[in-house]
Amino acid sequence: MNKKIYKSSTILRDTLISIITITTFLHHVSADDTAIMATLAKSLSPSPPDWSGSNPCKWQGVKCDSSGRISSISLPFKSLSGELPSILNQLSNLKSLHLQNNQLSGPLPSLSNLASLEDVNLDGNNFSSVPPDFLSGLTSLQTFSINNNSNLPPWKIPDTLKDCTSLVSFIAGKANLAGEIPDIFGSLPSLQNLRLSYNNLTGSLPASFSNSGIQNLWLNNQMTGLSGTINVIGTMSQLTEVWLHVNKFSGPIPDLSACTELSDLQLRDNFLTGVIPDSLTKLPKLKTVALQNNVFQGPQPGFSNGVQASLGTSNNFCNPSPGTCDPQVTTLLKVIGALDYPMALAQSWKGNNPCQNWIHISCDLKGSVTVINFAKQNWVGTISPAMANLTELKTILLNDNNLTSSIPDSLTSLKLLQLLDVSNNNLSGKIPQFSSGVTIKTSGNTYIGIDLPPNSPPGSTSNGANNPSGTGTKNGTSSSVSTWVIVVSVVAAILVIMALCLAIYRCYAKKRNARYKWVNGSELGHSEHENETKENVKSTSTSETPIRSSGEKSDFHVYDGGNITIPIEVLREVTNSFSENNILGKGGFGVVYGGQLPDGTRIAVKRMESSIVSDKGMNEFKAEIEVLTKVRHRNLVALHGFCENGNERLLVYEHMPQGSLGQHLLQWEELGLTPLTWNQRMLIALDVARGVEYLHSLAQQSFIHRDLKPSNILLGDNMRAKVSDFGLVRCAPDGKYSVETRLAGTFGYLAPEYAATGRVTTKVDVFAFGVILMEIITGRKALDDSLSDDKIHLVTWFRRLIQNKESVKASLDPTLQPDEETFSSIWKVTELAGYCTAREAQQRPDMSHVVNALSPLVDHWKPTLDEEESIGIDFHMTLPQALQRWKANEDTSSSSSLFTSDFYNSSN
């Protein structure tokens, strides 16, 4: 208020001063204008034609008012160069200045306090600087245009523009404007045209656009890009042309029903999300609309015939033509609409099937959404009552966000709901009455449980704000003491398990996608199996707790549809009926086929010969595979599932596009591959060591691979390695591979004590890993019959060489040709290979030591944006660490645990 009074008094004072000045020097003023005009004439080159006589009022393009003062200078398209004199703003009666499309250069003159100035056009010149008070005090200014002055240094729209209360048009495209658009539009009631395209304006649309009379809003093509939402557009009812394309706007299109005059809406090339509102398609005067290159979702909008609409192909509309989406999609979009359509979901949720690889969602075998997991996303918004339309929901995780308002009553209608976690939000209001058996977590919501009168701010309620336990199994109104005792103990147990599950869940979060693809895949053929599949889902759910033998089952089923049984029809279809063309390779267990699921996921199907797996012990075998499908690590090839059909057993793995280490190391010439560099070999060795270390560190059931070899080390597109076939030997049924009958493993990689006694410890894998290191160093096979007797067995031969650096140098893989530095790395690995293949198992290092030894030899890590990181999950470390800790409590002596009864377990 004071400021305003001060401002107007300043203006008043200035005006008084000028009136006094004018009246005092009236007869001189004209002379002053003449002098200024003479200066102007001199500084322009060429001097404008006809600017010669002593009376500038007679010069071409110059006009004077009745008092003989200069009122207008108009010299457009005159090829004038030169600079404008800084005293130009002493032409105090100047109303109009048109200098557009010349080559004027140098500093712009200040126009400050030209209180009569109404119309300025400086377009298409080459000015080089903007004075600080350029546009202050221009109270009569109506049109200001400075398009195409790209030689200006970056300048900001001056705050003083708000003095220009008569402003109708402010036009400064390609004028190197930078910074934010000032929030001054409340002071510019007449503004109709704001055209600021092709600058470097940043920040968001100013709040004072709200209710302004702007008709033409051109803010397109900002270099860095304007950002934030475009919500304010919905309040600007005079808009006719809105050009916001090529910026970084995000969030949904607001309700545009107030924008009845809008005829041209350019929103393309932004990051806009959400469903196109009906209010847009129904705009009465709409002629042109461009929406392409955003991340819109929902139904493709249908515009009437007269509208020229560009939708592009990169939006994530549910269907390629207008029409409603699948009901689950519609509902899910309502759910995320209440969260203002988060970008991550807009990018992932494509198509019309939420079970098809949509993040934060999982489904059952029938394709119903059963889990919504929005935990820890920092999303802002409310819980949509529409969520209750997903009738198969079992688990809803909304914890650790910024949700407000209350838990909708509609959720109580979810018959299958088991867990609703809304902890750590800002929810308020009373908790609806869920049926017994639903676990509800509400801790960390200060005002939850308090039935606030509508509109009263949460802070106004004083006492009993906290729900003391924050967790409870809702049981109607009756809660006897004994129920509470049970509840408390269950809660305690659940909390412990949840802590573990959470750790594991984070590890799984990415891999989950692969699992859910399965769920779709299995839809292909099996409606008659519905009952059976339901059974399966159930039984899998109960064994879902990733730590199998923890003795307690958690109700925390984050993974649903964890069904590992995959119908044979699906596998037939994706492998073209096990066609020759789909063969990826052949191995000891059988043939491996490649295939692609309808959603594009590639898989590898290992078809085992029936002789390998007897029917006897099949259940045991299945049980083991069920565990293996849950063993997940980025250096282990994921086992998606299993199929049993007659005598056939099929294992379904994640597809590894670059084949095996064996191929790259030993068969590269035949296959036309480039030999691996030393750095690639080290990266692969470290990946393998990490994968095996993880297997060894699994609690309860320390997996021993037993068949580590280069053909079981598979490579991804980035040449990163994953270990395959883990755990299978162990879980072969009924002593098939026990001491008496046959040794598992492959000759050449067998540790001596294993070969001699069948005694299996993790050190068996360490030995095999040592042999692999030797193969990596020498490029030789573990067993090579073609060589002389003393060289057939790589380990025996190479261990002798280790005595002597020079002979190691002479035995390296000839493709390596190392320099000194590389050789020192090779030498360290040589020594490590020696330790790993020590005769005495106890003398071999643990896999974790191997990891530690190899890590420093691998080229420095470079940041890459892989999906794991973008989800923000620390998925490499958490599971093994959590399990190691878990394990530490179980058996204190780790060395003895390595020699425990793994072997005996497997054979009894």
Ligand X SMILES: *[C@@H]1O[C@H](CO)[C@@H](O)[C@H](O)[C@H]1NC(C)=O
Tell whether residue 606 is among the known ligand binding residues. Answer: yes
Of 38, 57, 87, 178, which one interacts with ligand X (CB under 6 A)? 178
Residues comprising the chain, all counted? 908
Under rule CB under 6 A, residue 744 binds ligand ADP: no
DSSP-assigned states of every residue in 690-759? HHHHHHHH-SSS----S---GGGEEE-TTS-EEE-STTHHHH-STTTTSTTT---S-TTS--HHHHHH--
- Nearest approach, Cβ of residue 360 and ligand ADP (Å): 27
Helix 878-890 crosses helix 481-508 at what angle (to 10 degrees)?
A: 130
- How many CA atoms, within 13 angstroms, populate the side-chain half-sphere of residue 16? 6
> How buried is 71 (Cβ within 10 angstroms: 0-12 exposed, 13-18 middle, 19+ buried)?
buried
| One residue of 76, 588, 675, 716 binding ligand ADP per CB under 6 A | 588
Task: Return the H-helix or E-strand segment holding 596.
Answer: strand 590-596
Q: How far is the CB of 742 from ligand ADP (least distance, A)?
A: 15
Question: In sequence order, which ranges of 226-379 are alpha helices (DSSP H)?
Answer: 278-281, 327-337, 343-348
Taking CB under 6 A as the binding criterion, the range among 200-208, 398-406, 446-454, 581-589 that sits at the site for ligand ADP is 581-589
Sole binder of ligand X in the list 103, 402, 870, 900 (CB under 6 A): 103
Q: Which of 168, 289, 420, 592 binds ligand ADP (CB under 6 A)?
A: 592
Residues 6+ apart with CB under 8 A from 759: 753, 903
Nearer to ligand X, 287 or 334 (CB): 334
By C-alpha distance, which of 390, 530, 548 is closest to 883? 548
- Write down the number of H helices and E strands in the chain: 25, 40
**Which of ligand X, ligand ADP, none binds 604 (CB below 5-8 Å, type-dependent)?**
ligand ADP
659 in contact with ligand ADP (CB under 6 A)? yes
β-partners of residue 721 are 715
Interface mask toward ligand ADP for 698-717; x: CB under 6 A: -------------xx-x---
Residues that contact ligand ADP, how many (by CB under 6 A): 20
Among 43, 116, 126, 907, binds ligand X (CB under 6 A): 126
In the list ligand X, ligand ADP, none, the entry touching 588 (Cβ below 5 to 8 angstroms by class) is ligand ADP
Q: Is 769 in the site for ligand ADP (CB under 6 A)?
A: no
Judged by beta carbon, residue 438 or residue 604, the one nearer ligand ADP is: 604
Locate 687 and state its tokens: 């990946």
Closest to 391 in 3D by CA, of 366, 419, 370, 375: 370
Rounded distance between C-alpha atoms, residue 734 and residue 901, angstroms = 16
How many residues sit close enough to ligand X to count as binding (CB under 6 A)? 16
Tokens of 135: 């546009």
Q: Which is nearer to ligand X, 10 or 324 (CB)?
A: 324
CB of 659 to ligand ADP, least distance (A): 5
Say how far apart CA 648 and CA 646 lie, in whole Å.
5
* Residue 650 is a binding residue for ligand ADP (CB under 6 A): no
CA 621 to chain CA centroid, Å, is 38
Residue nearer to ligand X on the CB measure, 10 or 200: 200
Rule CB under 6 A: choose which of 282, 285, 534, 586 binds ligand ADP: 586
Residue 382 touches which of ligand ADP, ligand X, none (Cβ within 5-8 Å per kind): none
Does residue 223 interact with ligand X by CB under 6 A? yes
Q: How far is the CB of 201 from ligand X (least distance, A)?
A: 8
Residue 326 annotated in active site: no
Which two tokens mark 653?
């793995």
Q: Check binding of 742 to ligand ADP (CB under 6 A).
A: no
- Choosing from 123, 707, 765, 902, the catalytic residue is 707
At 337, list the tokens: 């609409």
Among residue numbers 366 through 395, which ones bind ligand X (CB under 6 A)? 385-386, 389
In this structure, are residues 62 and 86 in contact, taking their beta carbons and an 8 Å threshold?
Answer: no
Of residues 597-626, those binding ligand ADP (CB under 6 A)? 604, 606
Q: Rounded to an integer, what distance in angstroms lies between the CA atom of residue 244 and that of residue 270?
A: 8
CA distance 612 to 737: 10
**Least distance to ligand ADP, CB of residue 605, Å:** 9
From the list ligand X, ligand ADP, none, pick the one residue 128 interacts with, judged by a Cβ distance below 5 to 8 Å according to partner type: ligand X
- Say how far apart CA 280 and CA 302 lie, in whole Å: 10
589 belongs to the binding site for ligand ADP (CB under 6 A): yes
Q: Show the CA angle centred on residue 871, arms to residues 867 and 874, nearest 5°.
A: 95
Within positions 235 to 264, which residues make up the interface with ligand X, using CB under 6 A? none
Q: Does 327 bind ligand X (CB under 6 A)?
A: yes
Tokens of 82: 């030169």
Does residue 594 sit in helix, strand or coil?
strand
Give me 519's structure tokens.
């769920």
Collapse the DSSP code of 199 into the 3-class scheme (helix H, G, I; strand E, B; otherwise coil) and give the result: coil
Nearer to ligand X, 61 or 408 (CB): 408
> Does residue 725 interact with ligand ADP by CB under 6 A?
yes
With contacts defined by CB under 6 A, name the span among 191-199, 587-595, 670-678, 695-703 that binds ligand ADP. 587-595
Residues of this chain, 116-175, that bind ligand ADP according to CB under 6 A = none
Q: Extract the annotated binding site for ATP.
A: 606
Q: Extract the annotated binding site.
A: 606
- Which residue numbers are catalytic? 707
- Judged by the rule CB under 6 A, the positions of this chain that interact with ligand ADP are 584-589, 592, 604, 606, 637, 653, 655-656, 659-660, 711-712, 714, 724-725
- Judged by the rule CB under 6 A, the positions of this chain that interact with ligand X are 103, 105, 126, 128, 151, 154, 178, 200, 202, 223-224, 327, 334, 385-386, 389
